[in-house]
Amino acid sequence: MTTPAVRLTGVTKDFGPVHAVRGIDLELAQGEVVAFLGPNGAGKTTTIDMILGLSQPTSGAAEVLGMAPRQAVAHGLVSAVMQTGGLIKDLTVRETVEYTASLFADTLPVDRALENAGITAIADRKVGKCSGGEQQRLRFAMALLPDPALLLLDEPTTGMDVEGRRTFWSAIRQDAEKGRTVLFATHYLEEADQYADRIVLISQGRIVADGSGAEIRALAEGRTVRATWPRETGEPDHAALAALPGVDQVDVRGEQVLVHAAKQGASDEVARFLLTRTPARDLEITSKNLEEAFLSLTAGAEQTQEATR
């Protein structure tokens, strides 16, 4: 079995009376692109700092590629793109990357880093003239220099417009396809859904869900199966539909039948039943968008916490 890129075991972090991280167990496989999604103050940055070895857990353990985080960083296996951080406005993009490369013993060629970050075309532009998105791609190029196995990004697209975000992520994705593990923190639900293979939803220092975008949505609210039940074929059999496994609601509105199933997979059974055992046709299965799923999951965590206080 390959060593996980990141392994957190029972990690907590207190800042005096503040329980920023309340017990996180998490394993990231090598090559995964994972979003750490959560509202303000959820504990994303605190957790990333511990993975980077910038701070120590209050209890539990953090490991990166089987090593202590600081050791992994010292070996050039981990780098990070943080939200802000010193860039010198009067240097050009290329000079900035060259200068950073000169601080390391062994790096990728500067041109490769520029190319992988998608900023070859602006290499001669002064940093002060670059947009927020371009500056983040510059930070990304700098982070690529040691050719790290693990790249951490803390809300890297804050303040970028839609186009800047899109270009930034397409560079990250292209790079990740070469096998790099990427963990990024974000508030943006659409960003997590679009660019991560896996979403770890965190709220008040705990993981409240972990899965693909589709799994997170399904977890939150199940699916609605909508179908047309032609009038001439008679009334829908309400009781038979309500009795199907996992079904929690059946609505008939004119020729429309809406069947809601809370459990994952149950909507497939509903669909199969409707298509093979009834005259229903024109079937559609929908789920809430990630925004709604996110709100209902993080609200759930708050309620659980209220209940356990």
Ligand X SMILES: Nc1ncnc2c1ncn2[C@@H]1O[C@H](COP(=O)(O)OP(=O)(O)OP(=O)(O)O)[C@@H](O)[C@H]1O
Q: What is the DSSP letter of 236?
A: -
**Minimum distance, C-beta of residue 165 to ligand X, in the bound complex (Å):** 16
**Minimum distance, C-beta of residue 243 to ligand X, in the bound complex (Å):** 44
Q: Residue 247, Cα to own-chain centre: how many angstroms? A: 30
Of 38 and 213, CB closest to ligand X: 38
Handedness of CA 153, 52, 87, 100 (dihedral sign): negative
**Minimum distance, C-beta of residue 249 to ligand X, in the bound complex (Å):** 34
Of 204 and 267, CB closest to ligand X: 204
Give yes or no for a contact between 113 and 144, defined as CB atoms under 8 angstroms apart: yes
Do strands 6-15 and 59-64 pair parallel, antiparallel, or not at all (unpaired)?
antiparallel
Of 45 and 264, CB closest to ligand X: 45
Of 44 and 180, CB closest to ligand X: 44
**Minimum distance, C-beta of residue 47 to ligand X, in the bound complex (Å):** 7
Where does this chain bind ligand X (CB under 6 A)? Answer: 15, 18, 20, 38, 40-46, 187
Of 36 and 273, CB closest to ligand X: 36
What strands, in cross-sheet order, belong to the sheet with 247-253? 247-253, 256-261, 223-228, 281-286
Q: State the amino acid at position 172 in one-letter form.
A: I
**Minimum distance, C-beta of residue 7 to ligand X, in the bound complex (Å):** 19
Q: Look up residue 168 and give its two tokens.
A: 């930034």
Beta bridge partners of 36: 185, 200
